[in-house]
Structure 1
Amino acid sequence: MKLIIVGATGFLGTELLRQALARSDVTSIVAVTRRALPASKEGNNGQGKVTNVVVKDYDVYDETAKRAFRGAEGCIWTIAITPRRSTSFPWDEVVRICQTSTLVGLRTMVESEPANPFRFVYVSGAAGERDPTKKSWYKPEYMSLRVFFF
């Protein structure tokens, strides 16, 4: 399986990368990051399974990224601003990072000829309300942004 991990140098992404490297059924990993992975992840410790795609931002993908996405069977998207930190950013920046960038990334992956089916996992908030007609008790505006449906 070819897997894309977006945010592979973050807290969750680092563990996802470690777990994916340990699995024999994951044959190829595209680690999308804003800074280069440590050399050990791409070298022998990565068993040659990891391709690091470094992007300036998560809503801009060049041809190298698009080629790397081709044939992927799934993506785990971990990019977000946490609820606690969300109040220290302008709201439009929170929307751009938590929602707009996600949609741009997904659209780019779909246009890059992934496998069929292609599975996309969006890591959302723990307190996210699954029913779009209900408001979350915790930071309702933020949580409704993080729990959106395609």
Structure 2
Amino acid sequence: MKLILSGVTGFIGHQVLVQALLSPESITSIIVLSRRVLPDSCPKDPRITTLVLSDADFLSYPPSVLSKLHGASACIWALGIKLADAEAHKRVTVDYTAAAARAFAALSPPEGSAKFRFLFLSGALAVSDPDARVLFLDDMRKLKGEGEKQVMEIAKENSRVFEAVVARPGMVHALGLSLTGILMALLPGDMAGVKVDTLADALVGAAVEGWEEVGNKTWSNGELVRRGREVAAKRNA
């Protein structure tokens, strides 16, 4: 299958790319959408093609870009932005996300694929109600919620050819032993967080195989942990 990724220069997106490359039989081509040339720290593999897009491209997807995405079956959207004003956050979190979802919903699905799968990386602290009173990170959390809303509305409007998952992980911690990871593992339920490779496995597994439930889904941290562990167990069996 042909898979589209965004945000691979970030902490989570980088690991998504790493885990995707562990599926040599399932994933035959990876198109990375990026705002800049990938650093040397990113994995190298002949299956990877990087498209460096301008702001206008991320908002409109001209034919020159869409032609290179033809035949893709799924996208894991992990693009984010740090230390920016509210306008920049809205453009990347909401506008870029909605433009991508609309563009991919219009792609002709490859033979044998009933629907294009779009997985949007959100967060456990996202706030869906724009009028809600939020004690901290107000703009960022509400913009994540607006991004979720846009994705789900586009999925509903294009339900014949497009389906979506909103992933809401809790605290995401790095590989290996760390004080943060140890402390998070002691917390109950969704508060326990998720290791970055487990989260990436959950997203890649859903992009490749879909999900058994009918319709669009929002997955909590606990669901992502369960799915990620299942993918890893299957790969290591």
* TM-score, normalised with respect to structure 2: 0.51
2:100 corresponds to = 105
CA RMSD of aligned residues (A): 2.8
Equivalent in the alignment of 2:125? 127
Contact 1:127–1:136 (CA under 8 A) maintained in structure 2: no
Aligned pair in 2 of structure 1 residues 65, 137: CA closer, same or farther (>3 Å)?
Answer: same
Q: Does 1:62 align with 2:41?
A: no
1:34-83 CA distance string (max 9 Å, x none):
222358978xx41x21111111123243333211221211111112234x
1:72-111 alignment runs, 5 A limit: 72-82=72-82, 85-86=83-84, 89=85, 91-111=86-106
| Alpha carbons of structure 1 residues 21 and 131: separation in structure 2 relative to 1, 3 Å | same
Describe the shift of the 1:9–1:62 C-alpha distance in structure 2 as closer, same or farther (beyond 3 A).
farther
Q: In structure 2, what is the Cα distance between the partners aligned to 1:146 and 1:55?
A: 22
Provide closer, same or farther for how the CA distance between residues 66 and 10 of structure 1 changes in structure 2, counting only shifts above 3 A. Answer: same
Shift of 1:136: 5.4
Structure 2 CA distance for aligned equivalents of residues 107 and 75 of structure 1: 12
Residues 94-133 of structure 1 show CA distances to partners (whole Å, capped at 9, x for unaligned) of 2111101111112122223234311111111232257889
**Unmatched runs of 5 consecutive residues or more in structure 1:** none
- Counterparts of 2:78 and 2:41, CA distance in 1: 22
Q: Distance in 2 between matches of 1:77 and 1:61?
A: 15
Aligned residues: 142
What does residue 7 of structure 1 align with?
A: 7
- TM-aligned CA distance change 1:38 to 1:130, over 3 Å: same
Change (3 A) 1:40 1:140: closer
Distance verdict in 2 for CA 1:64–1:129, change over 3 Å: same
Q: Give the fraction of aligned pairs with identical amino acids, expressed as a percent.
A: 31
Query: Greater CA deviation, 119-128 or 96-105?
Result: 119-128
Q: Give the structure 2 partner of residue 36 of structure 1.
A: 37
Q: CA deviation at 1:21?
A: 1.1
Q: Do the aligned residues in 2 keep the contact of 1:128 with 1:136 (CA within 8 Å)?
A: no
Q: Is the CA contact 2:127–2:144 (under 8 Å) kept in the aligned structure 1?
A: no
3-state DSSP class of the match of 1:59?
A: helix
* Structure 2 spans left out of the alignment, 5+ residues: 154-237
* Aligned amino acid, residue 146 of structure 1: K
Shift in Å, 1:29: 0.7
Q: Is the 8 A contact 1:33 1:54 kept in 2?
A: yes
Greater relative contact order structure (CA < 8 Å, 6+ sep): 1
Higher helix share: 2
Structure 1 stretch displaced more, 69-78 or 139-148: 139-148
Going from structure 1 to structure 2, the CA distance change for 1:135 and 1:122 (only over 3 Å counts) comes to: farther
Counterpart amino acid of residue 64 in structure 1 = S
